Amino acid sequence: MTESDVIEKVRSAYDGLTPSQKRIAEGIVDDPEFVAFATVDKLANRLGVSASTIVRFAYRLGLEGYQDLQERVRVLVRSQMRGASDPIEADVTHLDGTVGHSLARDMEQLSRTIANLDPSVVTEVVAVLASSRRIFVSGDITTYGVAHFFSLALDRARGETRLVRADGEGAGGIVDIGEGDAVVAFTFPPYSRKVLDVVNWAIERGATTIGVTDRAISPVGQRVEYVLPAMASGLGPQNTLVPALAVANAILNALILAEPEKSLQRYRSVNHILHSWGVYLLDAEDDA
């Protein structure tokens, strides 16, 4: 039983669940700590469903009842506790009001993101991207900025990377996508229908799909082969993109280290062109 076993079971079954069962699935994803130690009656009361519905939900996942479901959730929680044993902390007490609270919230969400990342999934994602013929990166609205950064930096490191606008303008960029290619999609609530369309097209064409999204049962999370969860709930109405950007940067660094000589040589070549065009104020050798 792997650490992400129960989440993968929930993710794969989500589309076929009843509304009440979907509520249970969302409860597991949103607050696994409560599920891990709550009685079936307490969980039923919290979610507004019957205890028998929870038991049937466990059977629907192919498990042997609520006790089996709970044990698998406990495995997940223990894994997250190990990952968060050295939590990220920042002293924001010198910043009063909203600014300090917002920064503290971002740090909390980043810490939760780190704890929720499955090391085996991260390793597989890096391996898939390293061996892909081409990488297509898609985002929309606010996540387009994260997608732009990731695709720009990745193209400098390995080449054969394309940023896909999740709209009519981007259709030509993915028309010939196929087997051997990979798609990385960034999307968070309220979720972009266009990013989902890009993912669906990639799946239809046989490409490998990776989602950076807030939950495994998000619209994109249910469709992609690999999910890299990044918490997105901000202090105000705007989602925080700090965890998503951190995940993107971590994957980028892992890919560079997979082939360091090739990546660094390409970086040098790109920077040589940029310097020849007078793009930078500082030369590569300058000390800032």
pLDDT tens figures, 108-142: 889 889 988 888 999 999 999 999 999 999 999 88
Give the residue carrying structure tokens 């994260």.
146
> What is the per-residue pLDDT for 82?
56
Q: In three state form, how does the secondary structure of 117-170 look?
A: CCHHHHHHHHHHHHHCCCEEEEECCCHHHHHHHHHHHHHHHHCCEEEEECCHHH
* Domains of the chain as residue ranges with CATH: 5-83 (1.10.10.10), 119-275 (3.40.50.10490)
Give residue 267's pLDDT band: very low, low, confident or very high (50, 70, 90): confident
Q: What pLDDT score does 34 carry?
A: 87
pLDDT in tens, 66-114: 999 988 888 877 776 555 555 556 666 677 778 888 888 888 889 889 9
Rounded Cα distance, 161 and 39, in Å: 49
Mean predicted confidence (pLDDT) in 203-213 = 96
Which tokens in the block code for residue 135? 């990488």
DSSP strands (E only) in 18-141 = 135-139
Q: Which long-range contacts (CB under 8 A, 24 or more apart) does 14-18 make?
A: 14/217, 14/222, 15/222, 17/57, 17/60
Residues 6 or more apart from 78 whose CB is under 8 A from it? none
Tell me which of 125-134, 160-169, 176-185, 189-198 is least confident. 160-169
How far are the Cα atoms of 189, 204, 282 from residue 287, in angstroms, in the given order? Answer: 42, 49, 8
Q: What percentage of the chain has pLDDT greater than the value 70?
A: 91
Separation between Cα atoms, residue 154 and residue 277, nearest integer Å: 21
Q: Cα separations (Å) of 111 from 15, 83, 221?
A: 29, 9, 20
Q: What is the pLDDT of residue 287?
A: 43
User: Which H/E stretch holds residue 109?
Assistant: helix 97-116
Q: Does the pLDDT of residue 187 top 90, yes or no?
A: yes
